[in-house]
Structure 1
Amino acid sequence: MPILLSIGIAYILALGSGRLCAAIGLPRVTGYLMVGLAAGPSLGSLGLPALITQKQLHSLVPLHDVILGLIVFTIGGSFSLRAVRKMGMKRFRISAVEIGLTGLFVAFGTFAAGASPLTAGFLAVMAITTAPAATQMVLREYQSEGSLTDTILPLIGVNNLVAIIAFIMLKNSVLSDKATFSMALVQILGPFVLGTFVGMVVAIMDQRLTRQVERQILVLGSATVIAGMAAILDISAMLATLIAGTVAVNASPYGKRILKELTAIDYPLYVLFFIMAGAALHLESLGHMGIIGMAYVVMRLIGKFFGCRIGAFWADDSQTIKSWLGPAMLAQAGLAIGLAEVLAREWPGPGAKIQTVILASVVVFEGLGPLFTRTALVNAGEVTVLNLISQRSRVGYGEGLIQVLNQFENALGISTAAGRRGPAEILVGHIMRRNVEVISNRAPFDEVLKALGHSRYDRLPVVNDQNELVGVIKYADIANTLFDPNLRNLVVADDIATNVRLMLTPEDSLEKAMAALKNYPNDAYLLVVEQSNPKALVGIVRHNDLLSAHIRDLK
Structure 2
Amino acid sequence: MTIMDFFPVFTALSCIFLGALVGGRLAALCHVPRVTGYLLAGMVLSPSLAHLLGWHPILKPEALHTLDLLSQVALGMILLSIGGQLRPENLRRWRHRILLFSLAETGLTLLLVGGAAVVVNLLFLRYAVPGLSLAMTTFYLVVFLGIISVATAPAATLMVVRECESEGPLTQATLTLVGLNNILALFGFVLAAHWLVKPSEGMAPLLGQLLSPILVGGVVGLLLAIWAERLDKGNEFKLLLLGGVVLVTVMCRLLQCDPLLAHLALGASLANGSPRWHRLAAALQEIDYPVYVAFFVLAGANLHFETLAHIGLLGIGYVIARTAGKIGGAWLGARLGRFGERMRRWTGMTLLAQAGVAIGLADSLSRQWPAGGAMVETVVLGSVVIFELIGPLAVRHGLVRAGEVPILSLLEKRAPEGAFEGLHHVVQHFRSSLGIPAGHRLKDPGDILVRHVMRRNVETLCENTPFNELLRLIAHSRYDRFPVVDQEDRFVGMVDYSEIRSLLFEPSLAQLIVASDLVHTARAQLHPDQSLREALEEVQQHPDISYFPVVDPERGSCLLGILSQNDLLAAFRKQGK
TM over 0.5: yes
Q: 1:485 to 1:68 in 2, by over 3 A?
A: closer
- Residue matched to 2:157: 135
Q: 417-426 or 109-118: which moved more?
A: 417-426
Q: Are residues 277 and 419 of structure 1, via their aligned partners in 2, closer, same or farther at CA, if it must alter by over 3 Å? A: closer
Give the 3 Å change call, closer, same or farther, for CA 412–468 of structure 1 in structure 2. closer
| 2:41 corresponds to which of 35, 55, 59 | 35
Q: TM-score, normalised by structure 2?
A: 0.92
Q: 1:540 aligns with which of 545, 562, 570?
A: 562
Letter of the 2:35 partner, please give it.
Answer: V
Distance 1:271 1:185 in 2: 35
Give the Å deviation of 1:488: 3.1
SS in 2 for 1:209: coil
Letter in 1 for 2:308: L
1:86 correspondence with 2:93: yes
Which among 68, 78, 88 is matched to residue 75 of structure 2? 68
- Structure 1 partner of 2:124: none
Runs of 4+ in 1 over 4 A off after TM superposition: none
- Within 5 A, what are the aligned runs for 1:140-219? 140-176=162-198, 178-219=200-241
Do 1:325 and 1:376's aligned partners in 2 also have CA atoms closer than 8 Å? yes
Match of 1:466 among 469, 488, 493: 488
Give the structure 2 partner of residue 224 of structure 1. Answer: 246
Q: Which runs of structure 2 are paired with 1:99-114 in the superposition (5 Å)? A: 99-114=106-121
SS at match of 1:2: helix
Whether the aligned pair in 2 keeps the contact of 1:33 and 1:275 (CA below 8 Å) is: yes
- CA distance in 1 between partners of 2:417 and 2:369 (Å): 56
Q: What whole-Å deviation, never above 9, does each CA across 1:242-267 have from its counterpart, x for those lacking one?
A: 10111012111112211111111110
Q: Secondary structure at the match of 1:273?
A: helix
1:251-298 CA distance string (max 9 Å, x none): 111122111111111101111100100011111111111211111111
The equivalent residue for 1:45 is 51
Residue 442 of structure 1 contacts residue 492 of structure 1 at CA under 8 Å; is this kept in 2? Answer: yes
Q: Tell me which of 96, 100, 105 is aligned to 1:98.
A: 105
Q: Helix, strand or coil for the counterpart of 1:422? A: coil
Within the candidate set 456, 471, 484, 1:449 is matched to 471
Does the 8 A contact of 1:87 with 1:454 survive in 2? no
**Which residue pairs with 1:58 in the alignment?**
65
Letter in 1 for 2:186: I
Distance 1:514 1:417 in 2: 27
Structure-2 separation of matches of 1:69 and 1:487:
49
Q: Which of 392, 395, 409 is the aligned partner of 1:387?
A: 409
Amino acid at match of 1:57: L
Is the CA contact (8 Å cut-off) linking 1:477 and 1:497 kept in structure 2? Answer: no
Alpha-carbon deviations, 1:360-408, whole Å to 9, x = none?
1101111111000000010111110110101014665323312311322
Partner of 1:418: 439
Q: Which piece of structure 1 moves more, 490-499 or 241-250? A: 490-499
Superposed CA deviations along residues 85-115 of structure 1, whole A, max 9, x for unmatched, are: 3331121111111111111111122122116
Q: Unpaired segments of 5 or more residues in structure 2? A: 1-6, 122-136
Tell me if 1:438 matches 2:460: yes
Aligned with 2:381 (options 351, 356, 359): 359
Q: Secondary structure at the match of 1:271?
A: helix
For the residue of structure 2 that corresponds to 1:162, the secondary structure is helix
Q: Distance in 2 between matches of 1:465 and 1:531?
A: 17
Which of 440-449 and 190-199 deviates more?
440-449
Structure 1 segment 290-329 matched on structure 2, within 5 A: 290-329=312-351
SS of the residue 1:349 aligns to: helix
Secondary structure at 1:113's aligned position in 2?
helix
Distance in 1 (CA, whole Å) between partners of 2:162 and 2:268 is 20
AA at the equivalent of 1:499: T
- Residues 77 and 245, structure 1, Cα contact 8 Å, conserved in 2: yes
1:534 is displaced (CA, Å) by 5.9
Counterpart for residue 516 of structure 2 = 494
Correspondence for 1:278 among 292, 300, 312:
300
Contact 2:19 2:42 in 1 (8 A): no
SS of alignment partner, residue 45 of structure 1: helix
CA distance in 1, matches of 2:350, 2:401: 11
1:547 and 1:406 mapped to 2: Cα distance? 26
Contact 1:172 1:184 in 2 (8 A): yes
Structure 1 residues 443 and 407, CA gap change in structure 2 (3 angstroms)? closer
Root mean square deviation, CA, Å: 1.8
Report if aligned partners of 2:442, 2:576 keep a CA contact under 8 Å in 1: no
- 2:132 is matched with none
Determine the C-alpha separation between the residues in 1 that align with 2:560 and 2:78. Answer: 34
2:14 to 2, 8, 15: 8
1:311 offset after TM fit, Å?
A: 0.9
Gaps of 5+ in 1: none
Distance 2:111 2:558 in 1: 43
The alignment's TM-score, normalised by the length of structure 1, stands at: 0.96
